[in-house]
Amino acid sequence: MNIKEIKGGVCAPHGFKANGVHCGIRKNKIKKDFALIVSSVRASAAGVYTQNLVKGAPVIVTKKHLTDGFAQAIIVNSGNANTCNSDGIEIAEGMCRMVERVSGIPADDVAVASTGVIGQKLSLEPMLGHIDELYDGLGDNSTAAAEAIMTTDTVRKEVAVEFVLDGKKCRIGGIAKGVGMVCPNMATNLIFLTSDVEISPEMLQKALSEDVKSSFNMVSVDGDQSTNDTCCILANGLAGNAEITQKGAAFKRFAKALNYCTVKLSKMLAKDGEGATKLIECKVKGAASLKAARTVCKTVIKSSLFKAAMFGADANWGRVLCAIGYSGADVDVHKIDVTFISRAGEVKVCENGYGLDFSEELAKKVLTEDEITVLIDLKSGNYSATAWGCDLTYDYVKINGDYRT
């Protein structure tokens, strides 16, 4: 199947416009903090959300608005998570009503998300003062929207692909933000996807729910699961394909294109983890079950000691074995092989659970690259999985030592 990367982010699919502006929630005037994505027609909509018991008010409101399987717009602010506030629901609903007022799209067809500090009151005022500017500027501005949802992100995260269904060109686009408090469970920080594929809400939800298990849920920056994790997708059907209403070849092609986008965004999220200097990919193969494969690679990617070793380009594979051992997965520790791989080459450091003599010089060279794969072969079955994370650095501590100030 041919999947081609294209430009345009969330505006690449037909019928989608976006924008991002500075409204004043953030003090820094050059930092956009208010974003809007709108489809020209009502779209099938699906979402996955944080499993944290402490949920941001926007998560609760979006879940409610998407219950009927349809939506037409997504409104987002950064700089304040609107979480643990007694008036949170009211504020989140107010953001949706703002969209209704300027666009005519019913408030309950609007998804809403907020990201930033937890537990500080969010005022509608700055947004009310800029909603017209935001709406009037809607256009091919995926980049502005991607910038407006960033918090401590250092790069904006956009993707778009083109593929063919029933001879019709179809597109999926996405933007995301990540950085800290990243260890999603069934969803991750903020990810907004658009598509012009025609697909029923049920099948769209099925595709998304299945997808996140191998994409966003396999990312960890710091093991902290955010209260505001939201991943939602709108598919407006303007590509003109025959509507996907059941599993089959078309559904598979759509799911594959979707996974291309979500894995790409997952890697961007991991690589831009707070303070990160390296993307760390952990591939597990030979697992006795999919669950074991996923558990092992996610545990390794979350280990603070392993992450610090990666920062120091130290081939301290004992920490990989240690993390596998406490992961809770049922593995035979006397069968584990570990290899470090990067552009600079590869070096096998552990075989059957025991250390190998390896060239420290080569290991240093391999681990000094900025994208590193640790390959773990459990030699106990046919399941595999991949997880993405980053190194643990001085800057992570610096950024999070005074995030609020």
**CB of residue 362 vs a copy of itself: minimum separation in angstroms?**
15
In the complex with a copy of itself, the residue whose CB is nearer, 41 or 333, is 333
Alpha helices in 215-286, H assignment, sequence order: 249-271
Q: Which stretch binds a copy of itself (CB under 8 A): 64-72, 134-142, 220-228, 264-272?
A: 220-228
**CB of residue 295 vs a copy of itself: minimum separation in angstroms?**
12
Q: Which stretch binds a copy of itself (CB under 8 A): 193-201, 231-239, 305-313, 378-386?
A: 305-313
Which of 107, 172, 321, 378: binder of a copy of itself (CB under 8 A)? 321
**CB of residue 351 vs a copy of itself: minimum separation in angstroms?**
10
Name the residue among 292, 309, 254, 316 with its Cα closest to residue 387: 292
**CB of residue 277 vs a copy of itself: minimum separation in angstroms?**
11
Token pair recorded at residue 322: 């240690």
Q: Where are the beta strands (DSSP E) in 168-292?
A: 168-177, 190-195, 230-235, 279-287
In the complex with a copy of itself, the residue whose CB is nearer, 4 or 121, is 121
Binding flag, residue 311, a copy of itself (CB under 8 A): yes
Alpha-carbon span 323 to 317, nearest angstrom: 10
In the complex with a copy of itself, the residue whose CB is nearer, 73 or 296, is 296
Binding flag, residue 312, a copy of itself (CB under 8 A): yes
Q: What is the dihedral of CA 74, 76, 81, 83, to 10 degrees?
A: -30
* Environment class of 152 (CB within 10 Å of its CB; exposed 0-12, middle 13-18, buried 19+): middle
Name the residue among 117, 100, 116 with its Cα closest to residue 36: 100
Name the residue among 1, 10, 17 with its Cα closest to residue 255: 1
Binding flag, residue 381, a copy of itself (CB under 8 A): no
Alpha-carbon span 369 to 298, nearest angstrom: 21
Contact 378, 294 (CB under 8 A): no
Question: What residues numbered 76-115 form the site for a copy of itself, per CB under 8 A?
Answer: 81, 83-86
Question: What residues numbered 20-79 form the site for a copy of itself, per CB under 8 A?
Answer: 51-55
- Tell the residue number behind the tokens 């017209």, with chain if given: 132
Q: Which of 50, 62, 188, 299 is catalytic?
A: 188
Token pair recorded at residue 23: 């409204």
Q: Which stretch binds a copy of itself (CB under 8 A): 90-98, 150-158, 202-210, 319-327?
A: 319-327
DSSP per-residue letters across 343-392: TTEEEEEEETTEE----HHHHHHHHTSSEEEEEEE--SSSEEEEEEEE--
Question: What residues numbered 120-139 form the site for a copy of itself, per CB under 8 A?
Answer: 120-121
Question: What residues numbered 155-194 form the site for a copy of itself, per CB under 8 A?
Answer: 180-181, 185
Which of 114, 143, 227, 259: binder of a copy of itself (CB under 8 A)? 227
Alpha-carbon span 379 to 384, nearest angstrom: 11
**CB of residue 110 vs a copy of itself: minimum separation in angstroms?**
25
- Tell the residue number behind the tokens 């996807």, with chain if given: 193
**CB of residue 67 vs a copy of itself: minimum separation in angstroms?**
22
Phi, psi of 278 (to 5 degrees): -140, 145
Q: Is residue 83 flagged as an active site residue?
A: no
Question: What residues numbered 329-348 form the site for a copy of itself, per CB under 8 A?
Answer: 331, 333
Contact 276, 301 (CB under 8 A): no
Which of 115, 225, 230, 241: binder of a copy of itself (CB under 8 A)? 225
**CB of residue 119 vs a copy of itself: minimum separation in angstroms?**
4
Question: What is the size of the binding site for a copy of itself (CB under 8 A)?
Answer: 63
In the complex with a copy of itself, the residue whose CB is nearer, 129 or 355, is 355
Alpha-carbon span 225 to 178, nearest angstrom: 11
In the complex with a copy of itself, the residue whose CB is nearer, 105 or 181, is 181
List the catalytic residues: 188
The footprint of a copy of itself (CB under 8 A) covers 51-55, 81, 83-86, 117-121, 180-181, 185, 222-227, 302-305, 308-309, 311-312, 314-319, 321-326, 331, 333, 350, 353-355, 392-394, 396-405
